[in-house]
Chain A
Amino acid sequence: MRLDSKTPSGPVEKRWDNCKFENKLVNPANKRKYSVIVVGSGLAGGSAAATLAELGYNVKCFCFQDTPRRAHSIAAQGGINAAKNYQNDGDSIYRLFYDTVKGGDFRARESNVYRLAQISVNIVDQCVAQGVPFAREYGGTLANRSFGGAQVSRTFYARGQTGQQLLLGAYSALSRQIGEGRVEMHPRTEMLDLIVIDGKARGIVSRNLISGQIEIHLADAVVLGTGGYGNVFYLSTNAKGSNATAIWRAHKRGALFANPCYTQIHPTCIPVSGDYQSKLTLMSESLRNDGRIWVPLNKGDKRVPDQIPESERDYYLERRYPSFGNLVPRDVASRNAKNCCDEGRGVGETGLGVYLDFAESIQRLGQHVVRERYGNLFEMYERITGEDPYKVPMRIYPAIHYTMGGLWVDYQLQSTIPGLFVIGEANFSDHGANRLGASALMQGLADGYFILPYTLGNYLASNKLEKVSTDHPDCKQALEQASVSTKKLLAINGKRTVDSFHRELGKIIWDHCGMARTGEGLREALQQVPALRQEFWSNVKVAGGPEEFNQSLEKAGRVADFLELGELMCRDALERNESCGGHFREEYQTPDGEALRNDEEYSYVAAWEWKGPNQAQELVKEPLNFEYVHPSQRSYK
């Protein structure tokens, strides 16, 4: 297979305009003759469903939560980037583009990133119009904060709840369309398979999570906005329900999966406290604006933090990266924290933690200012740990947070299956090997509000789509397969719970395909994961029956997919003999421990093609070209 990114021609700043002009349009009166399925109701799926319905398409939207307002975008804290240059500090579309390409360690497509930077300014306007209560200055204008990986203040925020407010904005737009009958909403419904007829995506197989009923929904195109796959790690900052089932099953139907090993470890999470732990909680990266990160200078220093004098503290980020200091990108901050802990300088009971200290900011700005900026985050920290961060430094440790990899899409956001579009975190497109802070919300909304509605129209207008019915043999086959696989899970009746498999998988992936990877470790994981998968299919115990509200069954199906995806992540990481962004191979580093890319050999997108169960997947490469931002060693010194 050859991958065509369909990147438009012309100078980078004109490409999206050219693309929009060249794309075919669907006549307004004809839009109501088309139907579109949107799976997922987060920032990407929710905004896409609402916008497509506004344009006149018939939309069916699906989410596994009990209401679209609970999609995991809601948990994003820090903010959303936009190249508005309201602060007069030298920002521009080109600078946001430059920062994002560089931040992604030169592993993203330039054209996509430029488009994202262009659209960023429209997103903020749209959200303000919807009533998103962004932070304001006393004069009534919008406030900004700075964020890791950038030297300008371009991040818009609503306290520490920006994701919530943006999602509620998209949810309100979606609700209006549901109320007006233009979107048919299916909450508590999970996608189990993609229906492909004559090579085109034409529908999905779904399971109603309350009744257990498995059914077929057909349409002229399918859009997946189902988020990332961070829960492969079991412990992550993702919601418990976040899963890769929709994208993975689409992958098994022919959609290529790109860069699975690019996962992001977020530097500021609350450390793990015990083995019953069910998830990790993120503390917004914006805290790094005013908090100083340090560990004791000496190994094994177990004194409480206020007993350690200044001279015996190591503010290691400020020391190593004087120009970015505590605001280095996430991958750099995370790796440095790990190194300090590996050296035996970690803090807290487990030794897996570093301090994030606000004492100086409280002295400089006053407690009221710190409270105003981060009050809810401080409260959350206190609720979870029982410690008051106004008095003692927070303890933080990196945790898996976001996945840059995902289904491969071209410039039109279309996967390798015609008619299957993938948006938001579910696709691989814009962040390369590392995502900058406050860019996930930007990408989700750019895809859903402003890109997909154009490119989907082009697909519908350029293809003659025959009517299909649920009697089609491909529909019947997919339906049968979904129900057989459900029954199979319930019939195993082994000895181990789904969670115990999931925890074990997570530990393998974290140890070998987490913050630092080695060829040896990855080869070991490639033995362990298939063995665990085999055990799963012979020894898992799933409670309850198929036709009822069965949370144990839901989890089992998702973990079955993670057990396959985890293996692909390790293969991809093993194949990429270089370090870039979130993918750090210990064999490939500079003398001072920074990631060492190999542009000669690895400047490509690694897209994997499914070849059948327990078969090795085939690697297809999409070469990356850099015409504007020339690859250089990333330096934040």
Chain B
Amino acid sequence: MKLTLHIWRQRSTSEKGRMVSYEMADANEHMSFLEMLDVLNEQLIGRGDDPVAFDHDCREGICGSCGFMINGIAHGPRSGTTICQLHMRHFKNGDELWLEPWRATAFPIVKDLAVNRSAFDRIIQAGGYITTPTGNAIDGNAIAIPKEDSERAMDAAACIGCGACVAACPNASASLFTGAKISHLGLLPQGQPERNGRALRMVQIAQEETFGNCTNIGECEAVCPKNISLEVIARMNRDFLRGSFLWRSGSGGDGG
């Protein structure tokens, strides 16, 4: 299979980037997309060129490292699939593909297709946890959790933090990511004591990190490789509103 690849090349955060075209003659349908890029990189190194930088690690769709745009779609054409699990059988001989990094002010480009997503970490640091220091937990079966609640929490907790939602959103909103964590913890009894403050702080930090607001476009859900539902954004908004009324700073508890 022969392909033409147009790839965004940018040496560092501060330098200007540009699209560079490559002919890829040695792709085959069993390769994953990243394996196809490995082959390209081996060729580039062989001829003394700089290989294309892209983040990747587990290559089984769970670590969330990989991700870039293929022809304008985050993670490429197959729904519910990260780029590392996208196989070349979904492309055909002669295809022309444009590869670009996630584009958002909050995700500065590191090099080529690799971006800095540490803003996501700071959103979690603002409240994406349950305060429970090691060592004082009660028995795991002491709180019964309805199966449906646990399943729904798991649906939201499946987020891999890849950033596709931000890249796909015209507002570069991190609402799907933030809402997923707020929903995961908010659906469980263990997450109730900090529910209000958590939503307030996480949403506020997302704004400070220059992510945009949600305007219900739904592109995020369409590209999410873990099929996180837009419903988590509704839950985020509800918890944010609830928190705005009930949470008192310095009250010691979480109000409500």
Chain A contact residues, CB within 8 Å of chain B: 47, 50-51, 54, 65-70, 72, 74-75, 84, 86, 122, 124-131, 133-142, 156, 158-159, 161, 163-165, 168, 171-173, 175-176, 178-179, 185, 187, 210, 237, 239-241, 273-274, 276-279, 281-282, 379-380, 383-384, 386, 449-450, 453, 497, 499-500, 541, 543-544, 548-549, 551-552
Contact = CB atoms under 8 A, between A and B. Distances in A.
A331 B32 CA distance: 29
Contact of B124 (A134, A139, A172, A549): A172
Contact of A133 (B138, B161, B188): B188
Interface in B6-40: 11-12, 28, 30-32, 34-35, 38-39
A172 B45 contact: no
Contacts of A279: 59-60
A140 B111 contact: no
A168 B124 CA distance: 11
Contacts of A210: 110
Closest 6 CB pairs of A and B: A140-B144, A179-B125, A172-B129, A129-B137, A125-B137, A133-B154
A265 to B, nearest CB: 18
B134 A453 contact: yes
A277 B158 CA distance: 27
B2 to A, nearest CB: 16
Given A67-B161, A70-B64, A210-B110, A141 B144 contact: yes
B58 A69 contact: no
Given A51-B134, A54-B133, A70-B65, A551 B53 contact: yes
Nearest to B26: A276
A133 B184 contact: yes
A156 B11 CA distance: 46
B126 A179 contact: yes
A274 B131 CA distance: 47
B57 A241 contact: yes
A54 B124 CA distance: 17
A36 B35 CA distance: 39
Instruction: Tell which of A210, A281, A383, A548 has the most Cβ of chain B within 10 Å.
Output: A383
B61 interface: yes
B147 A74 contact: no
Contacts of B58: 70, 72, 74-75, 239-240
Interface of B: 11-12, 28, 30-32, 34-35, 38-39, 42, 44-46, 48-51, 53, 55-65, 78, 80-81, 85, 87, 89, 110-111, 114, 116-118, 120-122, 124-126, 128-135, 137-141, 143-147, 150-151, 153-154, 157-158, 160-161, 184-185, 188, 190-191
Contacts of A68: 121
Contacts of A122: 135, 137
B62 A274 contact: no
B117 A67 contact: yes
Contacts of B121: 67-69, 175, 178, 185, 187
B129 A175 contact: yes
B30 A141 contact: no
B100 to A, nearest CB: 18
B218 to A, nearest CB: 22
B231 to A, nearest CB: 16
Contacts of A47: 134
A159 B154 contact: yes
A131 B45 CA distance: 46
Instruction: Tell which of A124, A240, A277 has the most Cβ of chain B within 10 Å.
Output: A240
Contacts of A140: 143-147
B38 A499 contact: yes
A181 to B, nearest CB: 10
Contact of B158 (A131, A139, A156, A161): A161
B57 A72 contact: yes
Contacts of B114: 66, 549
Nearest to A549: B111
A168 B118 contact: no
Contacts of A548: 11-12, 111
Contacts of A281: 59-60
23 contacts: A65-B63, A74-B58, A74-B62, A125-B140, A129-B138, A131-B129, A136-B145, A140-B146, A141-B144, A156-B140, A158-B157, A168-B157, A173-B132, A175-B129, A176-B131, A178-B125, A241-B57, A380-B85, A383-B61, A384-B85, A449-B135, A497-B45, A549-B12
B59 A239 contact: yes
Given A67-B161, A69-B161, A551-B53, A175 B125 contact: yes
A472 to B, nearest CB: 32
Contacts of A240: 56-59
Contacts of B143: 128, 140
Nearest to B28: A274
A108 B56 CA distance: 35
A84 B140 contact: yes
Contact of A141 (B138, B141, B190): B141
A54 B136 CA distance: 12
A383 B139 CA distance: 39
B144 A139 contact: yes
Contact of B132 (A74, A130, A386): A130
B129 A176 contact: yes
Given A72-B63, A86-B141, A175-B125, A276 B35 contact: yes
A276 B31 contact: yes
A293 B120 CA distance: 43
B147 A66 contact: no
Contacts of A156: 140
Contacts of B51: 543-544, 551-552
B138 A549 contact: no
Contacts of A384: 32, 85, 87
A65 B111 contact: no
B91 to A, nearest CB: 13
Contacts of B116: 66
B63 A50 contact: no
A413 to B, nearest CB: 16
Contacts of A84: 140-141
B125 A176 contact: yes
Given A187-B121, A274-B28, 19 more contacts: A66-B116, A67-B120, A70-B57, A70-B161, A72-B57, A72-B58, A75-B58, A133-B151, A133-B154, A142-B141, A176-B125, A239-B58, A277-B35, A279-B59, A380-B61, A383-B81, A544-B51, A549-B111, A551-B51
Contacts of B118: 66-67, 187
B107 to A, nearest CB: 11
A144 B191 CA distance: 23
Contact of A129 (B50, B53, B132): B132
A278 B190 contact: no
Contacts of A66: 55, 65, 114, 116-118
A151 B106 CA distance: 51
A392 to B, nearest CB: 17
Contacts of B138: 125, 129
Given A67-B118, A276-B38, A497-B42, A130 B146 contact: no
Contact of B50 (A139, A163, A175, A544): A544
Given A69-B64, A133-B154, A175-B121, A278 B59 contact: yes
A256 to B, nearest CB: 29
A136 to B, nearest CB: 4
B53 to A, nearest CB: 6
